[in-house]
Amino acid sequence: MVIKKICCVGAGYVGGPTCSVIALKCPEIQVTVVDLCKNRIAQWNSDKLPIYEPGLDNVVKACRGKNLFFSTDINTAILEADLIFISVNTPTKTIGNGKGRAADLKYVEGAARMIAEIAQSDKIVVEKSTVPVRAAESILKILSANQKPGVSYQILSNPEFLAEGTAINDLINADRVLIGGEESPAGQAAIEELCSIYEHWIPREKIFTTNTWSSELSKLAANAMLAQRISSINSLSAVCEATGADVSEVATAIGLDSRIGSKFLQASIGGSCFQKDILNLVYICECLNLPEVAAYWQQVVDMNEYQKSRFTAKVIQSLFNTVSGKTVTILGFAFKKNTGDTRETPAIHVAKTLLDEGATLKIYDPKVEEEQIYCDLTHPSVCESPEKVKKAITVYQDAYSACENSHAIVLCTEWDEFKTLDYHKIYHEMMKPAYIFDGRKILDHKALIDLGFHVQTIGKCLQRPLLTRFCGGTSCMH
């Protein structure tokens, strides 16, 4: 089979960018991205794409209407496709067995059932969503149980390693492409078909093929290892704050060791897109009766939670232990810069705690829509009284108005524009004493202190006598 038509089920942060790049690099292949959500597809077909990702607009503009299509006509796309990517969401289960940890595979299962119902010819079905190990087996069972005569399926695992904010570059210059499949001749042939798509732009030596289960587990393992590095440096940031060490210096010092390397050693406020995948790994370990392994990875998640609450507690403590009746500005709401995605963002944790303590919040993010912020902060898991929350928050379209008359600024996302704001102007328009809590370590702290701000950050004591604990217990001045 030579792949002429591809269908991608799920037009989200993975399906959209991945298939846009495939269309760009494989002009002879027709790529159709489908979704159940009409609004999302309409946005993909408009000038304002549903997700913000640097470079994505240009790729979509170059291919849309030529060999790249976004559609809600799932039937036609599946019927015509030789190869189908499943790129649907796999959130953490919120109810039932494994609630709060296991991946909810209902969307993957839904996609598999749709394919089984519609397909009339042989298909290669590629699992791109991040799934538990052996999820491909469930997909195959659903497809086989509903198989029409003469139709056969090959299931491949091809997890996605792109990071939001750098997705286009990650896709075009991927470190590696991982493809897992059956060891049978038919499985190997399907792997070759998918390899031939990536080989349009990825050198063959960067395409790594494995058995299906290794491929599925590798995705969870990669995210767990990355999260572990972040949790490790974050744990050390607490030690730095208590001792006078500077976590940035520690990170540079240890990162210079070639066995360790410098990437993913940036301490921050916590929060990441890894949580759901590690929780999924923990759940798998528990199901496999490996409690020690489960506890080991659970600690990585717990350390991330601890970092978020430690930071928020510091904000409240610094503001004389009460934020009730005070106005706090949250700069940045996305979970990282260069994306509008707010899933698992630490800003939700910070906002929730401050709201619970009675603060009024002024929020600004360059790419997160106002509606999304309201939706996140009035979600039942965050608040009991949406009306009360709506009254306590205002979303602004620029940073300056968001900071006016505030008692404190809490910087939650490392957007570049926050580095170059006119903090002199901001200082003069804030309540005094004016506080800045830099949760991402991106600001010029010395300059801010010189302007009159009280500044706190992660992993470094900026404005209190060092080693208070070891030098006679002088109390913290800020």
Identify which of residues 304 and 406 has a Cβ nearer to ligand NAI in the complex.
Answer: 304
Number of residues that bind ligand NAI (CB under 6 A): 26
Identify which of residues 69 and 364 has a Cβ nearer to ligand NAI in the complex.
Answer: 69
Sheet holding 30-34, edge to edge: 68-71, 30-34, 5-9, 83-86, 123-127, 153-157, 177-181, 207-211
Instruction: Kindly indicate which of the ranges 9-17, 230-238, 287-295, 463-471 contains the residues binding ligand NAI, using the contact rule CB under 6 A.
Output: 9-17
Distances (CA, A) of 379 to 103, 373, 375: 20, 10, 6
Using CA atoms, how far apart are residues 304 and 267, in angstroms rounded to an integer?
Answer: 11
Q: Give the CB-nearest residue to ligand NAI.
A: 12
DSSP E strand stretches across 277-407: 327-331, 360-364, 393-396
Residue 10 touching ligand NAI (CB under 6 A): yes
Q: What's the closest the beta carbon of residue 114 comes to ligand NAI, in angstroms?
A: 6
Q: Which of 370, 375, 391, 298 is nearest to 343 (CA)?
A: 375
44 in Cβ contact with 33 (< 8 Å): yes
> 109: which 2 tokens?
């299962």
Q: What's the closest the beta carbon of residue 12 comes to ligand NAI, in angstroms?
A: 2
Residue 33 touching ligand NAI (CB under 6 A): no
Q: What's the closest the beta carbon of residue 215 comes to ligand NAI, in angstroms?
A: 13
Restricting to residues 67-126, name those near ligand NAI by CB under 6 A: 87-90, 107, 110-111, 114
Instruction: Kindly indicate which of the ranges 12-20, 148-156, 264-272, 440-448 contains the residues binding ligand NAI, using the contact rule CB under 6 A.
Output: 12-20
Reduced to 3 states, what is the DSSP secondary structure of residue 201? coil
State the first-to-last Cα distance of the chain, in angstroms, to the nearest integer: 68
DSSP lists the bridge partners of residue 330 as 363, 410
Question: Of the candidates 22, 35, 123, 215, which one interacts with ligand NAI according to CB under 6 A?
Answer: 35
Residue 348 touching ligand NAI (CB under 6 A): no
Q: What's the closest the beta carbon of residue 15 comes to ligand NAI, in angstroms?
A: 6
Distances (CA, A) of 182 to 56, 116, 160, 447: 33, 19, 19, 59
Q: Could you give the residue numbers annotated as active site?
A: 273
Compute the radius of gyration of the chain from its Cα atoms.
24
Tell me the per-residue interface mask from 152 to 181 with ligand NAI, x by CB under 6 A, - otherwise: --------x-x-x-----------------
DSSP lists the bridge partners of residue 435 as 408, 454
Residue 9 touching ligand NAI (CB under 6 A): yes
Tell me the per-residue interface mask from 244 to 283 with ligand NAI, x by CB under 6 A, - otherwise: -----------------------------x----------
| Binding residues vs ligand NAI (CB under 6 A) | 9-15, 34-37, 40, 87-90, 107, 110-111, 114, 129-130, 160, 162, 164, 273
